[in-house]
Structure 1
Amino acid sequence: MDDIVVLGAGYAGMATAIQLAARNRGDFRVTLVDAHERFTERLRLPMTATGQQTASLSIPGLLCGTGARFVRGRVTSVDLGARTVVLDHGTITFDLLVYALGSVADASSVTGAADHAYTLNGVAEAARLADRLGSARQVVVGGTGLTGVESAAEIASRFPSLRVTLVGRTAPGMSLNAKAGAYLRGALDRLGVVYEAGEIRNVLADAVVVDDATLPADVFVWAGGTRVPVLAEGIATDARGRMVTDSVLRSVSHPFVYAAGDAAAIRQPYGIMHGTCQSGMPTGVHAAVSIVRSRRGREPRPFRFGYYHTPISLGRDDAVVQFTHGDDTPRRLHLTGRAAVRYKETVTAAPWPTYRRMKRLPASGAFWPKGRRA
């Protein structure tokens, strides 16, 4: 019996493991590996970073009844020749591997950030930031993408006495349509978040150098870029460490390895996908379907994905949701205010009913709409 090992129990890895287990006919074993037993809701890490309580979701609990096995351990390396995963407490062998360990903030890209920056790489890092904010006076958030905007807004709304500055080369909300972008920037203004245009050159213990100016900062939060740790020597990756895949999410250099979520460089007609929850789960499902089809002598189908929205929290009481074309360019339709808050909360909670539905998936593949079965 073959062993299929899934590394990483995030949105993509969890979807892969549950989908594989649901389609298993007793001809392989599924093992899911993660460093923590608690599922990390990356979408809610800005809340954790400001001391707010979020649900404690157990990975073994989410797997209960699926037939998939959970192993807790931190992956230190992958030996592709020996087909073994080295953990901090032992090794696991595999016949097929799914790499879904996700990405982390690339603090190495800015001088001093590795020594002085706070990141939202996980619950522990976010909680460390929450402990520090209570005694801070001036906070600088680097990066005007979704993580930077949500972090700055959450900090400003929870700690109104703090001076919060958001720094980036482009103004926040520039990927939205004109009205949605204006609403986002107006919301940041109302929260007292100051936007500083420029490139961060250096991070000091008590300041941030932006171009030729120095901004005082008790706390610096880095949200300006990500990378994927390369743990499997010799596998084909891009400049950010993401595994380069073919159209069915299989490694172009090692066909017994698949990738899903932020760890994969997946090319679509509009370019390389960027990592989000809305794309992570579909890639995990498709990786599982590709594996099952290949094992049963059927040709895997190419992965196709189109974006459909960009929900952005602006504190707990405000949000903006930009609906998009498949290539992630903005449509005219968008939501703001309480309607956007309700929509985003629904989306944020959506994975759990989906995972439960996957557990009930019969071998025929009824999870998929007609014509897309595995």
Structure 2
Amino acid sequence: MINGHHVVVLGAGYTGMFAAIRLAHRTRRAGVRITLVNPSARFVERLRMHQIAAGQKLADHRIPDLLAGTGVTFVQGTAAAIDPEARRVTVDGAAAPLAYDTLVYAVGSATDTAKVPGADTHAYTLNGPERAGRFAERLARLAGTGGGAVAVCGGGLTGIEAATEIAEAHPGLNVTLVSAEEPGSMMGDKARAYLHRALHRLGITLETGVRVAKVMPGAIELADGRRIRSDLCLWTAGVKVPPLAADAGIATDDHGLILTDATLRSVSHPEIHAVGDAAAVRLAYGQLHGSCQSGLPTAQYTADTIARLLRGKSVKPFRFGYFHQPVSLGRRDAVIQFTRADFTPVGMRLTGRGAVWYKELVSGSPLMTYRYSKRMNVTTVVSKGGRATRTSAA
């Protein structure tokens, strides 16, 4: 029976927000109740956290405002426990547990500072606007002294974007990017060369092929024994997910991600749908990595799947193919590497002003998607990957 069916969405990041809004539109006449749970009332644009870290002020988007007109109920609080047998979620601060018929698990991920000694106490992260803002305050004070050293640990896309943003905004600082792998290693030769020219132009020092062994006040120690001065350290290496699902006895992988079937439902509890960073989604070419590019399609698919299941209709397996790797290099430069479905690069790329416009369009697209999704079914899947996604991975 559809009428009165209660869907609880845990997490109002990119995927949880989209899943809630799209599902509300798809079931607006069916009597389905939807509740969205999130610790903060502010919608976090994770794609822009490096901008806050560099000292830029961003718009403050409030979750209740984004949900206005959808009929979705917003509950501010942290999900503390899930009882999958009773189908209830305990939310800190709530008067009573939330009972659900269907659960959408979209709790996301965060930077992991637990694996390297000192990272949790002497390094900053981009885990939310408050923490990025605290880093920005320290950065401004350091820049005000006329010089100083900043170490950005982690050479993935987040680390690259943070390092270039900081170096551009504060040219008087010595910025070092420390990475176990070559920055841009996933790109083609020409796009990677362009990225490295941008790093050189901005005066960023590269320490590659080495891991950080310890973070200390005023320095970081590398695995080869060298120490690098660091008046301020930004940690962007490694991710973790909350232990919420694993603690509840829901089937997860070794990293705590919910194991899903071909329709993104929990293999142990099919009334639970997992999307975004907290879902272990396997396709023929491998497991999806956490990104907005793949996360929004999982949310779109899950909202449509729940709507179809409530109407007694069949669903097809989830399919998705990557198509780009967009990277900002400060506010005035960027590089876009276009890819095959499995995220490997092709010969096509975009750089310079055109890439800046493209990256800004990508960063702003989720909010625009939410606005339009209140009135229509907005498609976020650019590619289903063709042959690469037609067979599930083992």
TM-score normalised to structure 2 length: 0.90
Which of 127, 130, 142 matches 2:133? 127
Question: Is 1:15 matched up with 2:18?
Answer: yes
Q: Secondary structure at the match of 1:282?
A: helix
Change (3 A) 1:340 1:368: closer
Aligned length: 367
- Letter of the 1:186 counterpart: R
Q: Is the 8 Å Cα contact of residues 34 and 72 (structure 1) preserved in structure 2?
A: yes
Question: Is 1:4 matched up with 2:16?
Answer: no
How many angstroms does 1:84 deviate by?
1.9
What's the Cα RMSD here?
1.6
Which segment drifts farther, 86-95 or 102-111?
Answer: 86-95
* Matched ranges for 1:15-164 at <5 A: 15-24=18-27, 25-90=29-94, 91-136=97-142, 137-164=148-175
Which of 187, 206, 212 matches 2:198? 187
Q: Secondary structure at the match of 1:290?
A: helix
In the aligned structure 2, how far is the partner of 1:119 from the partner of 1:82? Answer: 36
Q: What does the per-residue CA deviation read over 1:243-268, in whole Å, with 9 as the maximum and x for residues that have no partner?
A: 11111110111111111111111001
TM-score normalised to structure 1 length: 0.95
Question: Is 1:206 matched up with 2:210?
Answer: no
How many angstroms does 1:171 deviate by?
1.3
In the aligned structure 2, how far is the partner of 1:368 from the partner of 1:110? Answer: 37
Q: Secondary structure at the match of 1:216?
A: strand
In the aligned structure 1, how far is the partner of 2:370 from the partner of 2:327? Answer: 23
Q: Secondary structure at the match of 2:244?
A: coil
Q: Is the 8 Å Cα contact of residues 357 and 367 (structure 1) preserved in structure 2?
A: no
Change (3 A) 1:367 1:346: closer
- Letter of the 1:292 counterpart: A
1:258 aligned partner: 273
Segments of structure 1 that go 5 or more residues without pairing to the other structure are none
How many angstroms does 1:356 deviate by?
2.4
Change (3 A) 1:215 1:60: same
1:360 aligned partner: 375
4+ runs deviating over 4 angstroms: 365-369
Segments of structure 2 that go 5 or more residues without pairing to the other structure are 143-147, 385-394
2:296 aligned partner: 281
2:230 aligned partner: 217
How many angstroms does 1:113 deviate by?
1.0
* Matched ranges for 1:310-325 at <5 A: 310-325=325-340
In the aligned structure 1, how far is the partner of 2:379 from the partner of 2:239? Answer: 32
In the aligned structure 2, how far is the partner of 1:303 from the partner of 1:9? Answer: 22
Which segment drifts farther, 122-131 or 227-236?
Answer: 227-236
How many angstroms does 1:240 deviate by?
2.0
In the aligned structure 1, how far is the partner of 2:160 from the partner of 2:272? Answer: 35
In the aligned structure 2, how far is the partner of 1:7 from the partner of 1:194? Answer: 40
In the aligned structure 2, how far is the partner of 1:130 from the partner of 1:353? Answer: 27
How many angstroms does 1:82 deviate by?
2.7
Q: Secondary structure at the match of 1:30?
A: strand
